[in-house]
Structure formats: structure tokens, C-alpha cells
Structure 1
């Protein structure tokens, strides 16, 4: 059980959540989007939100700005979160503009707001759960898509609820966060997505 709970934190890592939201969107969207564009978007987002942050992490580790991938202290989180905000801003400006895919545009705007809020908490020396921010944000985006496209994805939403609970349990199990940090992380992830619904739903 210990290995399973620890593994959950890696399987549902925050870096993978934006890509999950994008892939889910393209799989459920009733709009006609050429496959070439879909794959180009997925590849671009994979490079920017997964590969680039990993490379930046190793650069920061080389420069001794971070000690480990777990970013255990709020001080370690500041630079990676600031860089991630820049990465998400690039995605918004270059990859998912509102004129092209408005749903994904506001999805990433929500992610940017969540990242900025998490950065603010880090500057205030409060460690919020980035895992919960990522999973709850995607969960809320899935709910919005089900309403927007009038599709029945109750099974997916139930699975996401289970994943949200599993991630919270995992973070508590490894003593990475307190219950308060998990709750605040969940709110920081979900609320921006919920607030932005009025702009595209």
C-alpha cells in the first residue's frame, strides 16, 4: 500500500495534468479540427509543459536553486513557479489563442491564475499542494466541458473524483502536506476554472 500511495503522486504529477486536459478536450470536442492541428497542439503543449519544465528543473538544480524534485520548502518553489507562469503564458499567447480554441485558452488562463496564486502563497511562506491544484483544476475543466458540449461523462467525473481523493491521501501519507494545505490547493485549482466559465461556457 505504501508503494501504491507513493506512486499515485508520480502517476498524477502536476506536469501531466495540463496535457491530460488538452487530450480529453480533443477527444470529446464535437468541433471538426484537422488531425494535423490536434497533434501539433498536443506536441507543442507536451514540450512546453512537460519537457521544458524538466529541463529547467535540472538547470536550477545545477545552479543550486533547488535541492530536489519535491520542492519541500517555500523558498525552493519561488523560482520554479515563476518560470512555470512564463511557460503557461507562452502557451496562452502562441499555442491556444482565444481565436483558435477558446475552451483551452481559458483552461490555461485558469492554470496561470492558479500558478500565480501558488507563487503568492510561496512568497508568503505558505506551502500549498501543487498536486491538488493541478488535479482539481482539470476536474473542474472536465465538468465544464460536460456542460458546454452537453455530453454524459459521469464515469470520467466519478473517476476524477476518486483520483482527487487518492492524490490527497497520497500527499498526506508521505507527509508532504497538511490537510489545510490540501484544501487550499484544491480551491486554488478549482476556483479560477469555475470563475472563468462565464467567459466561454
Structure 2
């Protein structure tokens, strides 16, 4: 695999983008999996945007833009040395900050958008996965990319099983294929060992699939 392509893929499929990717697929491929989504989407608007677009934009700002800004600020204040966060020392504080943000986001959606319980449950599972990554990263460099992409596969697969949604078949296949390329990219860049990739995959799949199957 080409190094530049591996770097591009790692950036394009950053773990912090996974919530936006998951819900973009669910909103536009399997909206029936989100209770009341189409009902409220037809009657509610966020400014000039539909409810779907408004929720996705809010989620993108909260789960990607805000954590990235905080991580950049940590770098500017010399709390972390490298934005790539390749060492355990550089990962600990950013992960703790990200856990706090994602916990707040999950609580926000749970309390403010009660008509969409599926959204808050999936976000809670993501927050739990990040918390597990943060704890493990105190001692060992587990792959957050593997956790993120496998969590996406798990969430989509769980929804497909739970709701019998055949429309998710091809998105799931595509996500699995992309996951393979992403994990190969992380190995090519020597960012992780096979054990760290495997651990991340097991964690992401287990948490997301379990939450969807047993709680949604």
C-alpha cells in the first residue's frame, strides 16, 4: 500500500468522524430504524435545513469539530507534543477530553431529543467505547481507528438484524471492505501492531453490536 494513500485513508476515516458517518447512513439509507425520524423530519426544520441535516450538522460540530479544536489547543499549549498522538503520553489527556465531550453529547441527545432514543443509545455506546480506549491507553496503545470503524460495522449490522433492514446490506459490505483497507493502512504506517488492531476491532464490534441488539 502506498504511504500517502495510507495517510489519506487514516485522515478520511478518523475515529471522530464515525458518528457522523453512522448516522448519515442510517438517516438516508435506513431511516425506519430511527423512531419518529421521518415524522419529525417532515414537520420540523432547523433554520433553512431539514431536521436530518440539522441533526447531522450538530453532531459533526459536537463530535468532530469540538474535539479536534480541543486537541489542537492542547498542542498549542504544549500539553501534547505531536498532533498525530503516536505515543501513550500524547494520547492520555486528549482521550480524556474526548470522553468528556462525547459523554456530554450523549447526555444532550438523551435529554433534549427524547423522541429519537436510538440516536442517544448509539451515541452512548460510542462514548463508552471511547472511555474504554482512554482507559486502555493509560497502559497500552490500542487502535482507535479499529475501534471506530468496527463500531460502525457493528452498529449498522445490529440495526440490520434488529429491523430486518435489507437496504443496509450493501453499506455494511462497503464498510467492511473499507475497514480492511483502513486496518491495512494503519499497519503499513507502523501506527499499530496486529494485536492492537485486533483488540480495537473486538472492542468496537462488541460494544456497538451489543447495545443495538439488546437496548434498541
Q: Which SS does the other structure have where 1:175 is aligned?
A: coil
Counterpart in the other structure of 2:150: 136
Structure 1 segments of 4+ aligned residues over 4 angstroms from their partners: none
Pick from 63, 72, 79 the counterpart of residue 49 of structure 1: 63
Q: Distance in 1 between matches of 2:172 and 2:121?
A: 20
Q: Distance in 2 between matches of 1:84 and 1:100?
A: 26
Displacement of 1:151 after TM fit?
Answer: 1.7
Displacement of 1:108 after TM fit?
Answer: 1.1
Counterpart in the other structure of 2:116: 101
Q: Which moved more, 1:69-78 or 1:175-184?
A: 69-78
Q: Which SS does the other structure have where 2:141 is aligned?
A: coil
Counterpart in the other structure of 1:177: 192
Displacement of 1:3 after TM fit?
Answer: 2.1
Q: Distance in 2 between matches of 1:190 and 1:86?
A: 22
State yes or no: 1:168 paired with 2:183: yes
Q: CA RMSD in A?
A: 1.6
Displacement of 1:120 after TM fit?
Answer: 1.0
Q: Distance in 2 between matches of 1:187 and 1:63?
A: 35
Counterpart in the other structure of 1:92: 106
Q: Distance in 1 between matches of 2:19 and 2:193?
A: 24
Q: Which moved more, 1:131-140 or 1:85-94?
A: 85-94
TM-score, normalised to structure 2's length?
Answer: 0.86
TM-score, normalised to structure 1's length?
Answer: 0.92
Gaps of 5+ in 2: 46-50
